[in-house]
Structure 1
Amino acid sequence: MLKNFLYSQKVAPYVFVLPFVLVFVIFWVYPLASSFGMSFQKVTLGQEAAWVGIDNYTKLMGDTVFFKAVGNSALYMVLTLVILIPFPMLFAVWMNNKFMWGREWFKSAFFFPALTSVVVAGTVFRLMFGEMEGSLINSILGTFGVEPIKFLKGQTTGFIALIALASWRWLGVNMLYFLSGLQNIPKDYYEAASIDGASAVQKFTRITMPLLKPTTIYVLTISIYAGLAMFIESMMLWNGNNSPKNIGLTIVGYLYRQGIEKNNLGYAAAVGIVLLIIAMAINLTQLALSGLFKKED
């Protein structure tokens, strides 16, 4: 009886989908619902939770450190998008060229940083951008007569180090996404364009970019989320969650500070819900502007 039930054509699809549904509910829906409930409470470990209504959100609206973290995360997201969308696309076009030699070696070299532990990478970049005269970047600048710079103690120079770390780690990953999209574009389009006398720039702007739109939307979507959710890179670069004047503090870093360091779980939950709203609003807006939700004729 049970065997007949499981092998039924009507039941079988639900059996295959069930593991995904369970994982989604247990590890996404339930934590999200719990966090939403906690955001309206005062929750500390070892004490009974107390209902405080919207007090956590009201407090957030006047929290200057929170807005500093939001500004840092937004700036990081924008800067990474400026670098990690166009440059990987151009590198992918370069890799996809039939005259490109050593293609597999270059693909591996670009992708290798993504396999490196972010803890190790952050530590290495902290040493590279150290304020000592003997640090790598200051040594290079010293050859041009530039005085040692305290990179990790200034807002602008600190972000230079942070964006350098992000670019080093993720440029190769995004490049492979675009390379995969390029390989799905029929070669006949480029051959026809060549016969019509189209230049390389015209082929890129009128064939490559339009047909790479689905890949671009995907990379843009995950990059927006990654930018807003960044935490470990900043923590490792500043060797902790307390950068000078909070120049490296992110939204997730502030959530960690409130929830783990200060044992204020209810307030941290409110920070997490606001982060979710911001990420959803930005991504849904860009998806709508890209025409993803429009019905095809």
Structure 2
Amino acid sequence: MPGLAAQTVAPDGSIVAHYEVTDAASETAFVLGEFYRRNGEWKFRAVGQGYDPGLAGLATDFGNPGPGRPSLVEYDFPGAAADYSLEVKVLDEYGDEDEWLVGTRHGTRGVAMMFTSGSAERTVRVKHSGDWTLRLLPEEDAPLITGPAEGKGTTVLRWPGPPTLMRVKRTSLGKEGKLAAYAVNHPFGKSVIIADTNERRRPVLGPVFVDPGGSCFVIVSAVEGTKWLLSRSRSARRPCSAPGPRTAGTESYVTSAPSPRGWSPARAASSTCTNWTKTCFRSGKSPVLPARTA
């Protein structure tokens, strides 16, 4: 394959670096070189790695098991402050940006997710003046939740199902900032909040939705100094029907669950799953709530 080369050109047109591959044969995808930043300067490293399977082989080598599969992304911004000066956004095909990482919520190092909606390629924009690293890892590197899980900072875990209620608790001392947990189902792709502590130490509880045909990941979002504990709620082990409103004409129905702790039915509907009952709300009329059960 003649003419397979990469070169770096200065603003004045002069060639700074040139690397040519002369032994290419059956490869259909190549990594000719890598640009990286060190000590505030951009550098170029010649690689010359070829892949017979094409882009699929290249993606596998860089941690993505295959186009369209989710991947973990290990990020590190050494020397950065966990504030709004650190920000990474993803760009869609129209050039619109969505927030992906921000120092105040994700810290300066941790593990995030990419390709959750089935896309094979994403573009990111990094707002940071110092050195940084983004490294793809296979989804299997996410630890499987088999019981209470402890950790610190931002990370990604796998939940095998079924749908459940998950408790999120801050275990570190002091106020290190925000702590929240999200569920992401592939290929649905959108993150759904499980619970947010709102910078408080009180444990919070929320639902983990699991798509029957997909893979469920739990993303814990926190700065690197925040320690946390995830545990499955005991009430989630009891069989129940999923709560949620439905409408029919001028009538609306919600499900509620009386609780032995004395919570109101509306509060209990989002916090526990025992003895589900149905309450009818009609337009312009106050609902008649069912009697509490022991």
Q: TM-score range by the shorter chain?
A: under 0.3
Higher relative contact order (CA 8 A, sep 6+): 1
More strand per residue? 2
More helix per residue? 1
Q: TM-score, normalised by structure 2?
A: 0.18
Q: TM-score, normalised by structure 1?
A: 0.18
